[in-house]
Amino acid sequence: MASRPPVHRGPADDRLARNRWAVMQFTRFAGFALVILGILLVRGIVHLDEGADRYMGYAFIVIGLVDGFVVPQVLARKWRSPPQ
């Protein structure tokens, strides 16, 4: 049996898919920006508060890694098209 070609539903679906892709890319970018900021805090290059720099840096690194690797996968799974 041959598989059916995908049904194209129109420009609204294309726009929705493009916006979802942009959100996933933004979460990756924001996550890795947090990782860079965390590294700068841990190394003492950037200062937020005198005693909390190191701990905030480690927290930013962990949150950034989760935001960069896990959140886009969760969004992709949530927004996956149902099988036809």
State the amino acid at position 76 in one-letter form.
Answer: A
The shares of helix, strand and coil residues in the chain, as percent rounded to the nearest 5, are 70, 0, 30
- Answer whether residue 7 is part of any domain: no
Q: Quick check: is 15 in a domain?
A: no
DSSP single-letter state for residue 45: S
Q: Is residue 27 assigned to a domain?
A: yes
Percent of the chain whose predicted confidence (pLDDT) is above 90 = 61
pLDDT digits (tens, 9 = 90+) for 4-26: 666 666 777 889 889 999 999 99
Please tell me the pTM assigned to this model.
0.77
Count of structural domains within the chain: 1
- Structural domain that includes position 71: 20-79
Residue 33 belongs to a domain: yes
Q: Does the residue 6 lie in any domain? A: no
Residue 49 has pLDDT above 80, yes or no: no
Q: Average model confidence (pLDDT) for the chain? A: 87
Q: Does residue 3 form part of some domain?
A: no
